[in-house]
């Protein structure tokens, strides 16, 4: 069983607490993505799994075995880095076989594993080439091949796509996802790119400044971010945020004056907070009728044509930041147009301005019954 379990793991470098009290259970055969901004502790977490960093506090297990004091070479893991560092004077075949030769595996076994990996990665026709005769994407595949032939219980990957250009990144992203489907091996994958995280992860662990913020499937994180940080980090373009105060039963902020949707009424009152951040995603604003919705009157400032959609930077009088909206390009919005942007009430997120924690909404049934009770 190739589970990986962090139990209250911390990592200190002198005064720097790079990873704080991390508890995270990575399941067997799962594709777990660690994502977060630069310096949040992703690589450090991965290197602790690999055995390349000591653990300052806590317990780390691979399967049932506590590995805190197990040497890297005895952990049954393989790591793929951003810089693939192939041996330039060796052929692709020899690059992939090198680690197995060091481990003195029989030649027949080495050949079989290299041929299998080459087939999985579509590298069969390149086995006799040198790295300089390959494209960047092919080289990164050789680096993956070098990890695959070791048949590890867990793959660790640290930003393996970041040296590739945009197109190759999308291609190789799909290849790694396919690889995971075929091998059914646990993968822990580090990236700062939320699109990679969303498209590849079975589950995603979002980190910020050494702290684990939330763990969940891509959809859980998108639909139910636990706090403002996760809400702003997951999704592209980012969620819009507006600071609001509770005033006369409404939410008021610079340029905004919104009724509190029914499903938030109890929770806003219960929270005891007066200052909130309202959050709404650009793709949830619409120019069409939208049932119970909040209306935001705004002026189109910049219109970015994206083909099937257009991305609008709109200004709301009295509000100093742009609001971003994405609408079908058929609306053909022009700079200067006055728009009534509608936000379906169930797409609104509210956060406690002080703690950043989400204000959970009532389910529609709860909201309906409370409306009846107060009517």
Ligand X SMILES: Nc1ncnc2c1ncn2[C@@H]1O[C@H](COP(=O)(O)OP(=O)(O)OP(=O)(O)O)[C@@H](O)[C@H]1O
What are the residues binding ligand X (CB under 6 A)?
13, 16, 18, 36, 38-44, 192
Inter-residue contact 361 to 290 (CB < 8 Å):
no
Residue 38 interacts, among Mg ion, ligand X, none and using kind-specific CB cut-offs from 5 to 8 Å, with: ligand X
Single out the segment in contact with Mg ion by CB under 5 A; choices: 39-47, 75-83, 201-209, 242-250. Answer: 39-47
Residue 201 interacts, among ligand X, Mg ion, none and using kind-specific CB cut-offs from 5 to 8 Å, with: none
Closest CB to Mg ion among residues 18, 96: 18
- Asked if 43 is part of the footprint of Mg ion (rule: CB under 5 A), the reply reads yes
Residue 227 interacts, among ligand X, Mg ion, none and using kind-specific CB cut-offs from 5 to 8 Å, with: none
Element (DSSP H or E) covering residue 154: strand 154-158
Closest CB to Mg ion among residues 34, 60: 34
Single out the segment in contact with Mg ion by CB under 5 A; choices: 6-14, 35-43, 308-316, 365-373. Answer: 35-43
Closest CB to ligand X among residues 13, 87: 13
Residue 330 interacts, among Mg ion, ligand X, none and using kind-specific CB cut-offs from 5 to 8 Å, with: none
Residue 308 interacts, among ligand X, Mg ion, none and using kind-specific CB cut-offs from 5 to 8 Å, with: none
Summary count for the chain: helices (H), strands (E): 10, 19
With H, G, I as helix, E, B as strand and everything else as coil, classify residue 18: strand
Helices (H), the chain: 42-50, 92-102, 107-120, 136-148, 166-183, 194-200, 218-223, 228-233, 262-271, 364-374
Angstrom distance (rounded) from CA 56 to CA 6: 12
Q: Is 284 exposed, middle or buried (0-12, 13-18, 19+ CB in 10 A)?
A: buried
Closest CB to ligand X among residues 36, 145: 36
Q: How far is the CB of 24 from ligand X (least distance, A)?
A: 15
Q: Is 168 exposed, middle or buried (0-12, 13-18, 19+ CB in 10 A)?
A: middle
Q: How far is the CB of 234 from ligand X (least distance, A)?
A: 16
Single out the segment in contact with Mg ion by CB under 5 A; choices: 36-44, 162-170, 172-180, 336-344. Answer: 36-44
- Asked if 10 is part of the footprint of Mg ion (rule: CB under 5 A), the reply reads no
Q: How far is the CB of 229 from ligand X (least distance, A)?
A: 14
**Which pair of tokens denotes residue 86?**
């192939």
Q: How far is the CB of 43 from Mg ion (least distance, A)?
A: 3
Q: How far is the CB of 80 from Mg ion (least distance, A)?
A: 13
Inter-residue contact 291 to 344 (CB < 8 Å):
yes
Closest CB to Mg ion among residues 33, 341: 33
C-alpha dist (Å) from residue 48 to 55, 56, 77, 231:
7, 10, 12, 28
Q: Give the N- to C-terminal CA distance of the chain in Å, as an integer.
A: 56
For 209-337, strand residue ranges (E) read: 211-216, 240-247, 250-253, 256-259, 275-280, 293-305, 309-315, 323-328
Q: How far is the CB of 210 from ligand X (least distance, A)?
A: 7
Inter-residue contact 288 to 342 (CB < 8 Å):
yes
Closest CB to Mg ion among residues 46, 86: 46
Residue 279 interacts, among Mg ion, ligand X, none and using kind-specific CB cut-offs from 5 to 8 Å, with: none
Q: How far is the CB of 233 from ligand X (least distance, A)?
A: 13
Residue 290 interacts, among Mg ion, ligand X, none and using kind-specific CB cut-offs from 5 to 8 Å, with: none
C-alpha dist (Å) from residue 4 to 76, 153, 221:
12, 10, 21
Closest CB to Mg ion among residues 53, 310: 53
Closest CB to Mg ion among residues 121, 154: 154
For residue 82, report the phi and psi dihedrals to the nearest 5 degrees: -60, -50
Residue 40 interacts, among ligand X, Mg ion, none and using kind-specific CB cut-offs from 5 to 8 Å, with: ligand X
State the CB neighbour count (10 A cutoff) for residue 246: 16
- Asked if 44 is part of the footprint of Mg ion (rule: CB under 5 A), the reply reads no
Angstrom distance (rounded) from CA 204 to CA 366: 30
Closest CB to ligand X among residues 52, 295: 52
The residue ranges that bind Mg ion (CB under 5 A) are: 43
């Amino acid at each position: 069983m190739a589970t990986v379990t962090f139990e209250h793991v911390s990592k200190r470098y002198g005064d720097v607490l790079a990873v704080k009290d991390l508890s995270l259970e990575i399941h067997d055969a799962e594709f777990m993505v660690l994502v977060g901004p630069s310096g949040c502790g992703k690589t450090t977490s991965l290197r602790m799994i690999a055995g390349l960093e000591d653990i300052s506090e806590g317990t780390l297990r691979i399967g049932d075995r506590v590995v805190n004091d197990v040497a890297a070479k005895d952990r049954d893991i393989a790591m793929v880095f951003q810089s693939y560092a192939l041996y330039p004077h060796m052929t692709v075949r020899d690059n992939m076989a090198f680690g197995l030769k060091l481990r003195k595996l029989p030649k027949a076994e080495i050949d079989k594993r290299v041929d299998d990996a080459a087939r999985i990665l579509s590298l069969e026709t390149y086995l006799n080439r040198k790295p300089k005769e390959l494209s960047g994407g092919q080289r990164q595949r050789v680096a993956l091949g070098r990890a695959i032939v070791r048949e590890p219980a867990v793959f660790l990957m640290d930003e393996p796509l970041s040296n590739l250009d945009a197109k190759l990144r999308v291609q190789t992203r799909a290849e790694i996802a396919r690889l995971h489907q075929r091998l059914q091996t646990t993968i822990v994958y580090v990236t700062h790119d939320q699109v990679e995280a969303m498209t590849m992860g079975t589950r995603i662990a979002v980190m910020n400044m050494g702290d684990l913020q939330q763990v969940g499937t891509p959809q859980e994180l998108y639909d139910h971010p636990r706090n403002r940080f996760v809400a702003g980090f997951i999704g592209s373009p980012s969620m819009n945020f507006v600071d609001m105060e509770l005033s006369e039963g409404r939410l008021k902020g610079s340029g905004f004056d919104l009724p509190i949707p029914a499903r938030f009424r109890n929770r806003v009152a219960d929270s005891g907070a007066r200052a909130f951040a309202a959050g709404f995603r650009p793709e949830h604003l619409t120019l069409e009728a939208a049932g119970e919705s909040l209306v935001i009157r705004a002026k189109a400032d910049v219109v970015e044509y994206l083909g099937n959609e257009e991305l609008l930077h709109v200004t709301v009088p009295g509000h100093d930041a742009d609001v971003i909206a994405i609408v079908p390009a058929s609306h053909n919005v022009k700079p200067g147009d006055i728009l009534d942007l509608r936000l379906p009430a169930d797409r609104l997120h509210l956060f406690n301005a002080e703690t950043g924690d989400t204000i959970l909404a009532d389910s529609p049934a709860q909201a309906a019954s409370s409306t009846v009770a107060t009517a």
